[in-house]
Structure 1
Amino acid sequence: MIGPFAPADQQGVLDLILSIQRDEYGIAITAADQPDLSDIPAYYGPGAGGFWVARANGRLVGTVALKDIGSGAVALRKMFVAASHRGRAAGVAQALLDTALAAARDRGVTQIWLGTTDRFVAAHRFYEKNGFARVEAEALPPDFPKMAVDNRFYARLVV
């Protein structure tokens, strides 16, 4: 169900993420506003980074990424799950996060940071349930890749 990103996943990743951002949540954002998605291996691959996708019945239904930001820290990025596969019963979001956390541990990461929008209320509860604590933007590391739509931030130690 969860596996590393492959170049053949490129269009499915764009379609999933943009449909959730724009169609579900009305966020005015394009692929051009997210240059990380134009070359996923180059952006997310170095250091402790990585990008994973979730599939169900051959269809891409979720994504999660880690971006190495130095000093033993990563940014959790691109955590998206298709509406049809959300919720505890489906388990897709938890499987994606567990994959990213295991990779972070295996790669010697000590802290994970993330930014999100205040519109993703269910995601806030999910992150908090998984040990993330809300932090102010001023607490973010200098190399944190903040997006224009990010207005809510979290951090978690990797144990």
Structure 2
Amino acid sequence: MKTAFKDYSIRDWEPRDRQAAAEAIATVLAEYGLAWDPEGVDRDALAVEACYLETGGAFWVVERGDRIVGTGGYYPIQRGVRAVEIRKMYLLPVARGQGLGRFLLQQLEAAIAADRYCQIWIETVSVLTEAVRLYEQNGYTLVKDVETPRCDLAYVKML
């Protein structure tokens, strides 16, 4: 996967991205008062091969120049019907407010549809107000089925 939005590029994650992508995620979490948990709920950000690539999912980085300013990915889950979960969709402040988040979500949804999945699940935290608004404006329905310890909201979208 390789695409562009304004002066940002979105591409497949590579092993050389491991530290920079993890740092971007940890930075966004800290901004919202959330703890980085590399041994628990954030393990997938470091174990990209096992959690995303080897399971039939995908993990992408968003770059501006040579700097990783965001991430996003999905992997199949045993929930719903031919379902995936979008995970680790984060943008640093420099990359927000330009429509990039909506574009990234649309690209993830297109890849998921191309892989013939039927449902997309997203778990998030209510303090991530911009993300919550993005999901609700793009057809995601709030459900009461949260599985991730840090999260307090879950959404689903049928394709």
TM-score by length of 1: 0.87
Q: Does 1:83 align with 2:93?
A: yes
Output the amino acid matched with 2:154: F
Q: Is the 8 A contact 2:45 2:88 kept in 1?
A: no
Q: Specify every segment of 5 or more residues in structure 2 that has no aligned partner in the other structure, as ranges.
A: 1-8
Task: Measure, in 2, the Cα distance between the counterparts of 1:107 and 1:28.
Answer: 33
Deviation at 1:147, TM superposition (A): 2.3
Deviation at 1:84, TM superposition (A): 0.9
1:74-153 correspondence to structure 2 within 5 Å: 74-87=84-97, 90-137=98-145, 146-153=147-154
Q: Does 1:58 align with 2:58?
A: no
Deviation at 1:47, TM superposition (A): 4.4
Q: Does 1:13 align with 2:8?
A: no
Q: Specify every segment of 5 or more residues in structure 1 that has no aligned partner in the other structure, as ranges.
A: 141-145
TM-score by length of 2: 0.87
SS of alignment partner, residue 54 of structure 2: coil
Q: Deviations along 1:68-88, whole A, 9 cap, x unmatched?
A: 11441001110100111111x
Tell me the equivalent position of 1:41. 49
Deviation at 1:124, TM superposition (A): 0.8
Tell me the equivalent position of 1:30. 37
Q: Is the 8 A contact 1:117 1:150 kept in 2?
A: yes
SS of alignment partner, residue 109 of structure 1: coil
Task: Measure, in 2, the Cα distance between the counterparts of 1:38 and 1:2.
Answer: 19
Task: Measure, in 2, the Cα distance between the counterparts of 1:121 and 1:39.
Answer: 27
Tell me the equivalent position of 1:73. 83
State how many pairs are aligned: 148
Task: Spell out structure 1 runs of 4+ moving beyond 3 A.
Answer: none
SS of alignment partner, residue 105 of structure 1: helix
